[in-house]
Every structure is written in structure tokens, then in C-alpha cells.
Structure 1
């Protein structure tokens, strides 16, 4: 039996969201997962690894592209509890994280058509990851904004 798994050549936990994509979602008050020396920012206030965004108090409308890999579920849980924001993660809908924090708690999801071309911390596009992406909205207003964002894909309202 021949089994093939898609894997990105540039494996890293820092996949920076294209600024144009985030601008379509509106203005954000906080990004708790910003790189230490970001080439661009997505929110008025930005926490990096040195700030330990998981331990900080979140406020306002949050945009979050959490660190990929182990520990991502903690970030999704915190956004779920905060209840006001949009997250971008891999569309791995069968995972424990999806069942614990998204399917029954998010207000809407948008499965992004195609693969997003992410950026590296130098501000250069680095290509596409080895999995499709999904935007997840917590809060009715964020669901409405996600639906109206004109991002190609399949929008599904969950609440």
C-alpha cells in the first residue's frame, strides 16, 4: 500500500497571513500572535512570544493566526472564551481542536478556496502550506463581516 502525505518544503510554525487578506476582514484591536519583528501588523495592539499572549488579557476584536503545531488548541480555546474575533488555521476539521472549540462554539467558518500564499518574517511570500486554510469567526458581528469579506471560498454559518 502506497500512502502519500503532503508536506510543505518550508516547515515552520510562523506562517504570516497576507496583509490584503486581513484587510478584507476589517479593523482589529488585538493580534496576540505577532512575530517579534513583524514585517507588517494586523491590529492596533500586537503581542509577540516575549509578551506571552496566552497569559495576557485579551480585549476588543481579535485577529489570530496562532502558532501551528502543538499548543494551537490553547489559542483556539482562549479565542472561543473571548468570543470576539477571527482566527485562521488549517482546515483539519476532524481534529479534537475542531470538535472542542469550533464546530459547536464558532458562529461561522469560511473554507478558503485554494491555498493561501503566506509570508515569512522577512516580509516575503514563502509559498503555500501543505494543507488548506479556514477562517473561523466568533461572535455574530464577526460572522457577518466574514460573510461580506469577498474572500473566495465556502462560507458556512454555524449559529
Structure 2
């Protein structure tokens, strides 16, 4: 088994599967995609890397599918802190990495977690993801 290949990836950006987003959007009516590109934004209002959602104030019903690299902890922390302000709710699509520092510090016992059964096939991928996924519902509980 090639462990190096399992944990390596050409990109940290995994575009949200449109069918998953559409199903969630029916329930939550998203208004802001907090980390997107012009090509993959799921909402009319969105923050691009140039705008840097980490430096912006988030409002409304937010969708977050952050880059899955080393910076992911910054996005999860930002989501946790933003909902505490009461200006927004956030639904995040995240890799189910329950062994990470960011998961224990900013998600576990703080926000609702919904594990996704099976492996997602992200929009720009021929194969299913090499990792499990989860939805985290950030709702302002400290």
C-alpha cells in the first residue's frame, strides 16, 4: 500500500457536488459562499481568494467548503467565531478528520455534526474522494 499516495493530492480545493448543494440550499436558503472562486461559487454573493473571506465579516446563511489543506483550521476557527456574533449561521462541508486539532478545538461538542455516508464525488473529480466527509452546522453556541 502506498500511504504517501493516499494522503497526497494535486489540489486542496474540492468543488462542492451540485446535487448536494442544491439539496442543502432547499433547506437553508444560502446567501453567501464564504470561500469560493468565480468558477465554483454556489451563491450570488461570495468571497474569492482575492477578497479573502478570512478577513471579511460574514452575514446571513453561509455556505463554506474551504480549501482542505493546512489552512483549513483557520476557516473552521473563523466559522466558529463568526456564528458567536449572531450575524450568521454556517453550514460547512469538511473532511471528516476527527483526529485533527481543528476538529477538537472548534467543532467537537460545540456544533452539530452530520457524517455523510460513503465518499462524495466532488464536481471536478472522476473518482470519489479519498476521504470521508461531514457537514458541520455552526449555530452560535459557545
User: What's the TM-score, normalizing by structure 2?
Assistant: 0.83
SS in 1 for 2:94: strand
List alignment gaps of at least 5 residues for structure 1: 141-159
> Distance in 2 between the 1:112 and 1:103 partners?
16
> Distance in 1 between the 2:17 and 2:99 partners?
26
The offset of 1:11, in angstroms, is 2.5
The offset of 1:129, in angstroms, is 2.1
Matches within 5 A, 1:92-111: 92-106=97-111, 108-111=112-115
**Alignment coverage as a number of residue pairs:** 134
Judging by fraction of residues, say which structure has more helix.
2
SS in 2 for 1:110: strand
Find the counterpart in structure 2 of residue 138 from structure 1: 138
Kept in 2, the 8 Å contact 1:8–1:129? The answer is no
CA root-mean-square deviation: 2.5
User: 4+ runs of 1 displaced by more than 4 Å?
Assistant: 2-6
The offset of 1:86, in angstroms, is 0.6
Over 3 Å counting, the alpha-carbon distance change for 1:3 and 1:118 in structure 2 is closer
